Structure 1
């Protein structure tokens, strides 16, 4: 692997990196903005949603979906930049989103307010089909975070931050989930956003341990990228899929008055050997 490069600085709580076309899309939760960033470091705001969390995914039909957690809605960005309702999630509190190769969206949520210091309760994963219907398909995930789907659309992997593990499910033909199992026990690792590569290994970003780690099924550590601040999420992309993008920021805690100090959010890039695969 090459040295870590800084593509962008001066942001807030940055999350949800997604490579699409020839740019990296990511969210600045502090600013309520979704941005697109090219490899020369030029960025532009493509959507504004005052919601925290603020996560995104691209559909096979080239549609950008945005979680409006505060409103309990899944939004779609129109070609003219306006936002319209794609699905009604029913209530607020949603976190990450992933869309697989068949157009099914998986959206997860915690069942408590960590920013208010509430006691934790296990969360859920819901399926949103292209017709807009919403169905719960998994439960008992202590803190559901990043998700990834294998290239053959057969397996969904979910980061369970509080249980320090990656949990896998088989994806059935109708998008429902079965055969739950622990894909990797991460020991002290605390996974946030994740992505998968062509060798079926998973990269996970780790906020408290300030790193991004590549693991095989079972939990064997294959590579580690050390960071100087919390790693919130990662994505593989670039022209040949071998650029690992990591969004980072200084982390002060979920119940802090300012979880991330202003201006500490960064987008980093490092060249890796194995290209990305699957979704996101």
Structure 2
């Protein structure tokens, strides 16, 4: 007896459960980053627009700041102009022409350098070896290098500007000592001595009470300066003349001052304020 297979309905496989679809990229495909949100795409141009003006302002301001650094006003309103370089250290001849101090070659008359101060006028000039000393109408004393390249130092005279405006600068600048290492600035109320090497104030001599120095009434004898100090008709004339040199008032017994520049050999260089006599 042969039994034949009977055909009937076949079982249907169960449908897969729903879930997240996973797509596997090919092994050779590069990895891709997720796209930024639209808000980030709009924020970047806004940030660039904000930073661009600031960056441009910095770039434009740099040359302006450099230019302002070079054109800023010089201290004390100094204006130096060298017309011809000096071949030696002597400052040549000095003169004032209007509001300018000039150093010129006495052989050729050619101007070596000129020095002016903005809004000021020189009242007196004084050559001292390798120094060119000048007194200005605002009570400032200056020392210019022999080549006119720099102003070595500036020193102000307290309260002297009104008197200078009325009387001028005749006799105010006086050199002391045989080596011309000290500059005496004479005003009615005091004599102030400055070291010409660096402008250091070395000593001050006030006028006697009721008296006053007369700058243009002075005579130099050697390294000493004899200066008039009138006090009144009752005083003898010998009491109305004083003598000073680079160490101060000349007296029989005085302590010498160390007026040299600081050095290991001369460590003590104190200043002195002399009492009125």
Q: Same fold (TM over 0.5)?
A: no
TM-score by length of 1: 0.40
TM-score by length of 2: 0.40
Q: Which has the higher strand share?
A: 1
Q: Which has the higher contact order (CA 8 A, sep 6+)?
A: 1
Q: Which has the higher helix share?
A: 2
Report which of the two structures shows the higher radius of gyration computed on alpha carbons: 2
